[in-house]
Structure 1
């Protein structure tokens, strides 16, 4: 599985309500087409940041302005590419601001960067294909 962590602005309850509205009748986790598994991870009670490089957490803190206490974790099944689905869900969750971090770079992606296809250190947001091309041996 590949993962994306989305750090929306606003309160956690607002994000939960948004997910409930768009992915009704499910929770813990929410799913999208049985290929994306979406849940809230909290640092205090869950595993958020437990396996992150401290430098990556510091980059996130600098961009956000504080250490986020929670995130939406999106796990993507290996059965699908997932790019379109991750972009769709990230756009929904970042509509009012925030950033997302994928498995391929430590860059905190804004919605504008995701929409524009910005390239940071040779990669776009959730850029599986380019990542593997760059890291093939």
Structure 2
């Protein structure tokens, strides 16, 4: 039988901390952007778009190499959840309008943020993939 590879005792904890930071920091940034925009009173706008792009860039920069597809798949879902939560917290659903109009308004508010986040994450991941010297040994011949 082959030898079983064991990890040092501290490794799983370090990975868990890094994974928590990779998801908590962008999420906090996204929630803060939605909160600031909703507090300004005009709904989700430019601040939310900018913080969504920054959160996607941060998530793409912090994600492990084997899980980079999450950095492209997660931003629209995270933005949708935060946007719905922000609009429910702000009372946008209680304005007396129809549900269809609320959904249309929500979609118009969040599409620019989703597009900016996707483009930013793709650019960061492309930069990570194309960065020279990454994962290669130096040749000292």
Q: Do they fold alike, i.e. is TM over 0.5? A: no
Aligning the two structures, in what range does the TM-score lie when normalised by the shorter sequence?
under 0.3
Superposition TM-score, scaled by structure 2 size: 0.24
Between Structure 1 and Structure 2, which shows a larger proportion of helix residues? 2
